[in-house]
């Protein structure tokens, strides 16, 4: 099992969405820092930052603080078995479309980065100067907004 392999809707390597904080701690050890959401955030959450590994793990209060989202810039990042860190936007779109995921939304940020979003697949990919820098991906949510924890 490749530890930096993203499985859409499920997690990354041994980290599975729906894991409790204790389960994550057992796998990953203590985070280097824990951030609490701001007062005015729509969703109360904690972010556990593993700076050395390049992961931020998000736990939402309304999901009983189960792991619901991962953000990572790990250089070993893989999707569908292929390394994607540093890849161009066209290469990533091609990889997604070979797996039947099409029509992403694209947004150019004020900072000049490009965000490629596959909304249904719950993954955002961020490019700077046409190189993939980091991804943010989460547990699937159904059309009626039910969280689809992996079994």
Residue-averaged pLDDT of the chain = 94
Question: pLDDT class for 30, splitting at 50, 70, 90?
Answer: very high
Supply the pLDDT for residue 44: 86
For 69-95, the pLDDT digits (tens) are: 999 999 999 999 999 999 999 999 999
User: In CATH, what number does 5-139 get?
Assistant: 2.60.460
Task: Give the integer Cα–Cα distance in Å for 16 and 67.
Answer: 7
Phi-psi region of 13 (alpha: psi -120 to 50; beta: other; left: phi over 0): left
Tokens of 144: 């009626």
Q: What is the dihedral of CA 105, 106, 111, 112, to 10 degrees?
A: 170
Tokens 């904690």 locate to: 46
pLDDT above 80 (res 27): yes
Stated pTM of the model: 0.94
DSSP 61: G
- The mean pLDDT of 122-143, rounded to a whole number, is 97
pLDDT in the model for residue 39: 77
């Amino acid at each position: 099992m490749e530890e930096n392999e993203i499985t859409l809707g499920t997690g990354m390597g041994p980290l599975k969405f729906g894991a409790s904080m204790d389960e994550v701690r057992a796998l990953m050890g203590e985070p280097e820092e824990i951030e609490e959401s701001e007062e005015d955030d729509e969703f109360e959450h904690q972010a556990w930052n593993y700076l050395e590994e390049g992961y931020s793990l998000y736990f939402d209060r309304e999901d009983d603080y189960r792991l619901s989202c991962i953000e990572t810039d790990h250089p070993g990042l893989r999707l569908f078995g292929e390394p994607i860190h540093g890849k161009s936007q066209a290469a990533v779109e091609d990889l997604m479309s070979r797996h039947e995921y099409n029509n992403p939304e694209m947004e150019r940020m004020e900072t000049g980065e490009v965000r490629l979003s596959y909304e249904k697949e719950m993954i955002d990919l961020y490019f700077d100067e046409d190189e993939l820098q980091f991804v943010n991906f989460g547990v699937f949510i159904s059309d009626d907004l039910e969280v689809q924890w992996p079994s």
